[in-house]
Structures are given as C-alpha cells and as structure tokens.
Structure 1
Amino acid sequence: MSSLDFATLEAAARWYVDLRSDSPNEALREAHRRWLERDPRHRQAWERLGRLQGKLEQVSPAVARPTLAAARAKRRDVLKVLSLLIASGAAGTLAWQTTSLPTLMADHRTGTGERRRLRLDDGTELHLNTATAVDIHYSASLREVRLLSGEILIQTARDANARPFIVHTAEGSIRALGTRFVVRHNDGLTTVSVQEHAVEVRPFGAVQTATRVEAGQQVDFGEQHVGLLQPAIAHADAWSRDMLVVSDWALAAFISELQRYRPGHLGCAASVAGLRISGAFHLADTDTILDNLTATLPVRIRRFSRYWASVESV
C-alpha cells in the first residue's frame, strides 16, 4: 500500500468528524461519496480509518461521537483522528519532507484560513499565512526559520550580533540581506518574492551557487535548480493584511488561491475557468467572496455542504 500525503489524511479525518457530528444530511453524504470517487487515495485513506475504528472509539467520546459544534473543538477532534491515521502508516513511511507529522509538532502553526503575526526575539516580524507551520531556532551565530509548510512574510530586524538570518525549506535556503520578503512552499517548489532589499537563494543540490533576488523580483527553486528571475507578483503580501488582491487573473487561478483559505473542496468548472477577474477581496469571509462573484461574472455557486462548493456557469 502506497504512502498517503498529509492533505489526504487530513481530509479523511475531517470527513470522519463531520459525518459523526450531529445528524449529517444527504447532501453531506453525497459530497463525501464524491470525494471518495475523485481520487483512489481518498478511498485508501477512508479504508485506513475503517481499520482504526476500535482505536477511534477508545481515544475519547469526543472523537468517536463528536457532539461539540464549536470550530475549535472540531479541530481538536480532527487532529486526534489525524494523529492516529499518521501513526498507523507502515513503520512511519511518511517522510518529514512530504508529510506534516513535524507540522503538528511545529513551534508555530496556523490552521486553514488562519493567519498569525509573531515578533521574534530580535525584533523581526514573522507573519504566517493559512495552513503554515514553522520552526524557529536562534543561536549565538545564526537566526534560522524552517518553513515546514505554507507561506510566510518576513521583515527582518537589524541584529546587534550581526547574525545571518536564514529561511530553510525542503528545497534549500534563503539568506536575507536586510529585507522584507515572502516565502511559499508548495509541491516540491519554493517561491521567494522580495519586497525590500534582496535575498540569496541556494538550493540544496547546489549550495555553492547563490542566486541574488532583488526587490521587485521573485523566483521559484527546487532542490537542484533555480528558475529564471521574474517580476514579483503585485501585492504578494496582501494576505498579511487579510486581503487577496488580484489583477486580470483567470478565474481558475483565483479559485485555486481562494481554496487555500477554505476547508474542504472548492472547484471551478472548465466552462468558466478562463473568465478574468480583478479586485481586492477580504479573506475573513470566503463565502461572501464567492457570493459576490455571481454579481460580476456569469457564474453560479453550487454548494453541496459547508465543505464542498463549485463555481459553475449560469
């Protein structure tokens, strides 16, 4: 049996909790069936849950028979189920680079749709975007942040001991040169966007070669390569102000980005994927963002449940 990625296991845990909370209706059951059919890994994760039924009942009544309606209580239940799912993997086959067992144990983390601002010991400001996890390690010689998942915005402070500030991801490292910059880690790729000053990027496979990224530039890099320097996407740090700002984006790209801030599934039909959208959107209420789309574009929002929605043509 192949290893399952963290996102799939987390989704299975969320479905488990939702289907046992209160009285699930037929729309929720239908959305769950669609989720199972969408990817063989989804059914594999669900079958793993079935084999854990005995252990789930032993964890606590809140997990086996959740009745709390509060989102925070539900999140705790999801994490309990998720921990069992991860632990049940064959001899811990989920490596730290591709799973979030370290994410669960990270120094700081945010849930889906949550954002957080931290002030580090040296005065550096660290913003965590949705579904982000970081470890922080300051020593006598280095200031280090390890981005385990998600996206961060860093505004470095001048250090009295002149210690380098370095961000590590699974693909390599970024050294700040007195700067403000965004780092995003996703699907084996790290993206760095610089707002002020500059950074140096070093992939793990070529640590002797540094690529300098100046203010107004961004770059993608993997373990073995660094891509071409590109103009930075405007307002790449708008999420730190609870905003999503886009200019002439394809609707499919917009929906994909919005999905990061919503639990569950958010789809976009191929018939409307190419529509263009611009604007500034408040991330505090993604349902309102979706509803407002119907006033400006020839689309409708089809909802199967709170956790399953699709943007379709009218």
Structure 2
Amino acid sequence: MSAVAQPSDASPIDPAVVQRAAQWMARLWSGEASEQDRAACERWRAQHPDHERAWRRLQGFDDKLHGAVPRDVASHALRAAPRRAQASRRRALQLLGLTVAVGGLAAAVRRTDGWQLVASDIGTRTGEIREITLPDGTRVVLSTATAIDVRFDARERRIVLRAGEILVTSAPDPATTHRPLRVQSREGTVEALGTRFTVRQDEASSRVAVFEGAIDVRPVRAATDSVRVDAGQRTVFFADSAQPPEAALDSATAWTRGVLVAEAMRVDEFVAELARFRPGLLRCAPEVAALRVTGVFSLHDTDRALQNLASALPVSLAYRTRYWVTVQAR
C-alpha cells in the first residue's frame, strides 16, 4: 500500500476552500454562533487536510492583527454593536474570503494597514513609539501602528514605509560608493539630502515635513521632475502630483516625545489624531466637530487626554466600552 503525500503548509490552497474557512470564521466571530455551528465547523475542518490548513492560515493572520486589542474585548465590542454594525463586521470578515488567492492573501488585503504590520520587517503596535538605528547609523523613530521594510544594497539605502509615520535622521553613508537614502511610500519616493524629516502614509496620500537639510519628493506617476522641500517646509503628495511646499509646524515631531500639540485644532481632527494612538474605536459627533482646541495632550495616556479635552470644551465622553468612545456635546 503506497503512502499518500500530504501537502506542505506553505503549498497553495484552493481559493474556494479559503473563502469557506473565512465564512466559518466570520460566523463564529459574530457572537451569534450556536453549539451546532461550532460542531459543523469542526466537521468541515476534519473533512480534508486543506480545510484545516486554510483555517490555521487565517487563524494565524487573525491572531497577528488582533495583537493590539485583547480578543475578549474585540468580541465584546462586536456583541455590543447594533445589528447593522454586526452585519457589517460579519460581511467584512466574509469578504476576506473573497480576497484570498492561492497561497496567500490577495492585493485587496495586502493594502490594509493591518496586513502591512503583519508582513513588514519592523513595526509598532497601536500606541507604541520606537526608535531604531539602521546599519549605516541612520536613526528612525516609528510612530504608532507603523510598519517599515529596510532594503539596503550596493546602489541605495531604501526604507519602505508600509503604514504609519516615521521621523528619519540621516547619517553619512559609510560605503565607499555613494548610496542615496530614500523613503518609499505608496505615492512615491522621498530622497534625503543630508536631513531630518518625517514621512507619513495616509489613506490616499503621503505627507512630509523637513526640519534639517532638504529632500526631493518624486511622485510615482508624476510627469514632471521631483519637488524640492527645504528645512522648515512640508508638503502633501499623491501618486501623480505634489502640492507646493508650505511652512511646517514646529509641533510636527511632538509625537516622538509622546505628546500631541494642538494649536486651534478642530475637534474632529484632534480625535482622529488621538485615535491613531488608541486601541478600539474613538469617534467624534458631528455637532462638536468644528470646535477648536489648544493645548498639549498625552499620547501615552489617551484617557487622560480625552478627560482634559472634556474639561476644556463643552463636550462629554460617551463610553460604550473602554475601547468604544464617542466625543459628543455636553
């Protein structure tokens, strides 16, 4: 009797199998699964080795994505959500199955910040700020939920910013042949000209600010030459263009010290910025969005920052859970 070769865990899996595994995961995560559902899932996983491999592959991906928020907290928030929000959450998980390709996750998933954090060389969790020194002596400070790859070779020193924000303080290249230092975002490339600067990856654009030296910004699909940004300037760039440089804010690097400096900042912008450093959901009600706030707020203690906001303005904090907060009118 000949032995049947078992597939390796890294070998491709039928996309339909992975889609079904994602649907089972969505059902069990919904908070509405019965014991019969759990038993049926166990039977499905036992039907074929690929079923179990697909389940484990998605489970490992899920565990990495939820490292910043305890599973019981995420599950509680899901069960506490209105029925429409529950349906949206289940649908999002089901769509995960539709974006899975043979051997791994497809481009739609790979573009999400969560996947960038999982797949990157170096990353930080929500609320974490970390400084590293690269092999050439360049120092990089990673902001909250930031992911980078480091690609040094004989021709260049490249930092790939997958998600989040970094502060780069460049060092002279020790190599005998000059290798330019570049930061690559989704929208283009920033080349350092002996400098200290920040690069931030937003949803559909990138933003840079320069504090020493200068940089050249080259959008990935721009028909024109690169845009130079000098010390004391900042710009926002897209895949096909860059905005004219303007004055940079002195407070742009305050996050490296664990504080958020607000200077007549809109409350909705303040909440969005604070939410980057806080696990869970932090929202701003429309009726208070246009209020302005000025002050220095802790990014290490976002609860205290919210309390200080409520003390300074006519707003209140509605806690559905510790991880689900809305800033609303008092």
The answer to whether the 8 Å contact 1:28/1:304 transfers is no
In the alignment, what sits opposite 1:75? none
| Alignment partner of 1:220 out of 231, 236, 240 | 236
- CA offsets, 1:267-314, max 9 Å, x none? 111111111101111211101111122211111101011210001111
In the alignment, what sits opposite 2:42? none
| Alignment partner of 2:100 out of 86, 89, 93 | 89
- CA offsets, 1:58-90, max 9 Å, x none? xxxxxxxxxxxxxxxxxxxxxxxxxxx579725
Q: Within 2, Cα distance between the matches of 1:211 and 1:128? A: 25
| Alignment partner of 1:36 out of 62, 86, 94 | 86
**Compared CA separation, residues 16 and 244, structure 1 to 2 (3 A):** closer
Matched AA of 1:30? A
Q: Which runs of 5+ in 1 are unaligned?
A: 2-8, 49-84
Q: Within 2, Cα distance between the matches of 1:138 and 1:96? A: 27
Matched AA of 1:152? I
The answer to whether the 8 Å contact 1:36/1:43 transfers is yes
The answer to whether the 8 Å contact 2:99/2:107 transfers is no
| Range with bigger deviation, 175-184 or 233-242 | 233-242
- CA offsets, 1:91-126, max 9 Å, x none? 533347623534312110011111110011111110
Q: Within 2, Cα distance between the matches of 1:277 and 1:285? A: 18
The answer to whether the 8 Å contact 1:242/1:284 transfers is yes
| Alignment partner of 1:110 out of 124, 127, 130 | 124
Q: Within 1, Cα distance between the matches of 2:73 and 2:286? A: 29
In the alignment, what sits opposite 1:18? 72
Q: Within 2, Cα distance between the matches of 1:86 and 1:175? A: 38
Q: Within 2, Cα distance between the matches of 1:246 and 1:133? A: 25
The answer to whether the 8 Å contact 1:176/1:199 transfers is yes
SS in 2 for 1:188: coil
* TM-score (ref. length: structure 1): 0.76
Of all paired residues, the percent bearing the same amino acid is 39
Task: Give the CA RMSD over aligned residues.
Answer: 2.7
Matched AA of 1:231? A
**Compared CA separation, residues 34 and 153, structure 1 to 2 (3 A):** farther
| Range with bigger deviation, 297-306 or 101-110 | 101-110
The answer to whether the 8 Å contact 1:31/1:308 transfers is no
The size of the alignment, in residue pairs, is 263
Q: How many Å apart are 1:47 and its aligned residue?
A: 4.3
SS in 1 for 2:288: coil
Whose radius of gyration is greater, 1 or 2?
A: 2
**Compared CA separation, residues 86 and 220, structure 1 to 2 (3 A):** farther
Q: How many Å apart are 1:28 and its aligned residue?
A: 6.7
Q: Does 1:143 align with 2:197?
A: no
Q: Within 1, Cα distance between the matches of 2:194 and 2:124? A: 26
**Compared CA separation, residues 307 and 229, structure 1 to 2 (3 A):** same
The answer to whether the 8 Å contact 1:96/1:102 transfers is no
* TM-score (ref. length: structure 2): 0.72
